[in-house]
A and B are shown apart, each in its own frame.
Chain A
Amino acid sequence: MNNLFVYCEIEDGIVADVSLELLSKGRKLANELKCKLEAIAIANNIKGIEKQLFPFGVDVVHIADDAALYPYTTMPHASIVINLIKIEQAQVVLFGATSVGRDLAPRVASGLKCGLTADCTSLVVGDHTENKTGKEYKNLLYQIRPAFGGNIIATIINPETRPQMATVREGVMKKEKISSEYKGEVKIIDFKKYVKDEDFVVKIIERHIEQQKINIKGAQIIVAGGYGVGTKENFNLLFELADLIGAEVGASRAAVDAGIVEHSRQVGQTGVTVRPKLYIACGISGAVQHRAGMDQSVQIISINTDVNAPINKIADYAIIGDVSTIIPKMIKYYKENSK
């Protein structure tokens, strides 16, 4: 009762990174709230799935394992989660802000008549005093997210209703194992009690899911290009530099929309959130939507012809000049100075 739950996404028997990231964050929040961390795993052929989850500090894993429950469809998963949450009286439920989590969580929130905050970038435990009534609330979940196209940051709370629910994007929270020795408990969900035949009316006819080949999220160094890079040829310079220094190539929405690079490289609010140790922004002006996806980088170098570009304000080094002349120089001096 009153514990923190994470809905885990599972593809081919593997728990998704975003869910492991949420468990890592959930563990810390549960410690602060002095409650247990519980995971929900609904899929097919997932015997032993708890071994992937316990190292992240999971106290209880609720499992529903059946061929009818995989691949994910909305209504059976929603019915199971809604009923489980009601019985367990969860305090907090977290979902990935993915095409699964963003499909499931609102349906669950509507069923439970509780609040849901989408795409949180930060989750913090805090207190609240209602201005009008003076009523005090202890240990609420502050759900912090950008809104209005990233132009404001809103802190959302649910003072009265439970559970407090939020979705968080992949790559926003850090994935951290607690201990490979951590042991929790497995509980089997008697899901047949919760699903109805009508829940299975949607049929999946075809499915093509690819393992992400381009992994800018996990990259330690990112060389990213924007509209200012100009041409595909100039973008090739970025690839050359990235190859040399062990980086991935990222891009702004402008470069993706212009068809210069593929969408899977897009960094920013409608792309991937990254936090590398070095981010080299080439010809990127730095609109809020882009900055939201990279401003947590440890170091930022910007290359821009415009000294007033917003990106320069968050950069550690702002090189004023043209990408096509500066990148070759960086390549040259790297080759000369590295061993």
Chain B
Amino acid sequence: MSFRIIVLAKQVPDTRNVGKDAMKADGTVNRAALPAIFNPEDLNALEQALRIKEMLNGKEEVEIIILTMGPTRAAEIIREAMYRGADKGYLITDRKFAGSDTLATSYAISLAVKKLAPYHLVISGRQAIDGDTAQVGPQIAEKIGIPQITYAEEVISIEKNKITIKRRLERGIEIVETPMPALITVHSSAPACRTRHAKMMMKFKHARTITEMQEETKDYTELHTARPYLHIDEWSVADLDADVEMLGLSGSPTKVKKIDNVVLQQKESKVLTSNDKDIEMLIKELISSHVIG
């Protein structure tokens, strides 16, 4: 039996670099203008999976599966992971997932993970930058009933049925040991992911989902029959045998009552220059109002 690692990844809008083009005239963010990227901590997670594969080289045959949930376009990050060393990809996609909160999302992904059993490890980023919740990983672990190691920074060692991990906490570190299967979420302080490999890019450039193939004019049938690893499987609600009531809005206990765009509010601010008179006036004022001194 091969040693299977499932890497969970998400395609996210790049909320960290909101440039001038993404700002609307009213000071709010135009979300459609943000580029879609591989969630940064999920890349840290992929790197850990690749390192485990290297650590087990010669001992176990390691297979790295990349699993994501999202629209057709999310297949982009599956290919990206393949260019960096993942072996096979699965895309969970269905309109019925729309509106899912973390609980409903973790339900859908946990079903897909179960379908990929037997596996040794499930590895994901600690959190995605569009929501920053860090909830989906632990919720999947609870649903499957396996241990979770969050905030992982480094895999220290791996043995037949045991993995030792360094965790990065706010005020220190912790080294923990867990039996497998287990779920690990990786912190941004972990090593960055290696770059694309030219050979892998050649190998996987024609990897497609069925929907992508239908949308393109090129005929992939022959190529995909000869090289089955190019086929990115799409799983729908039916494929996962999921209870529709537990998905989307009906499966989500949290509801968004209101969204307020952050608008830079103009305070009544005094603009000062760097000349001595201005600075002295300011310091005197701060002292006399007991803010400093």
Contacts and interface: CB of A to CB of B under 8 A. Distances in A.
Interface of A: 71, 73-75, 78, 98-99, 102-103, 105-107, 109-111, 113-119, 128, 142-143, 146-161, 201-212, 221, 245-246, 269, 277-278, 287-289, 299, 301, 307, 310, 312-322, 325-326, 329-330, 333-334, 336-339
Interface residues of B, number: 76
Contacts of A102: 134-135, 150
Nearest to A313: B264
A137 B169 CA distance: 39
14 contacts: A74-B138, A103-B138, A149-B129, A151-B18, A156-B254, A157-B254, A157-B255, A201-B147, A203-B177, A313-B269, A316-B270, A317-B271, A319-B282, A321-B273
Contacts of B253: 113-115, 158, 160-161
Given A119-B132, A209-B169, A319-B271, 13 more contacts: A109-B103, A110-B106, A116-B133, A148-B29, A148-B131, A153-B261, A156-B257, A208-B174, A313-B267, A315-B269, A319-B279, A329-B279, A333-B280
A146 B262 contact: yes
Contacts of A161: 253
Contacts of A115: 101, 103, 252-254
A245 B292 CA distance: 6
B171 interface: yes
Nearest to B133: A118
A75 B292 contact: no
B177 A325 contact: no
A78 to B, nearest CB: 7
B269 A316 contact: yes
A333 B272 CA distance: 15
Contacts of B164: 205
A207 B172 contact: yes
Interface in B93-129: 101-103, 106, 129
B257 A210 contact: no
Nearest to A97: B134
A143 B254 CA distance: 10
Contacts of A99: 150-151, 167, 169-170
Interface in B11-38: 13, 15-16, 18, 28-29, 31
B176 A202 contact: yes
Contacts of B292: 221, 245-246, 278, 334, 338
B149 interface: yes
Contact of B260 (A149, A153, A156, A289): A153
A-B interface, 5 closest residue pairs, ranked by CB to CB distance from nearest = A149-B15, A321-B274, A115-B253, A110-B142, A106-B135
Given A201-B179, A205-B164, A151 B269 contact: no
Nearest to B187: A99
A330 B147 CA distance: 55
A73 B174 CA distance: 11
B57 interface: no
Contacts of A211: 171
Interface in B245-293: 252-262, 264-267, 269-274, 276, 278-280, 282-284, 286-287, 291-293
B291 A278 contact: yes
Nearest to A278: B291
A78 B276 CA distance: 60
A156 to B, nearest CB: 5
B291 A307 contact: no
B175 interface: yes
B172 A209 contact: yes
Nearest to B289: A299
Given A278-B286, A316-B270, A110 B143 contact: yes
A107 B174 CA distance: 20
B269 A312 contact: yes
Contacts of A315: 267, 269
Nearest to A126: B257
A201 B276 CA distance: 65
A73 B150 CA distance: 11
B103 A113 contact: yes
B78 interface: no
Given A201-B147, A205-B177, A318-B270, A153 B259 contact: yes
Contacts of A221: 291-292
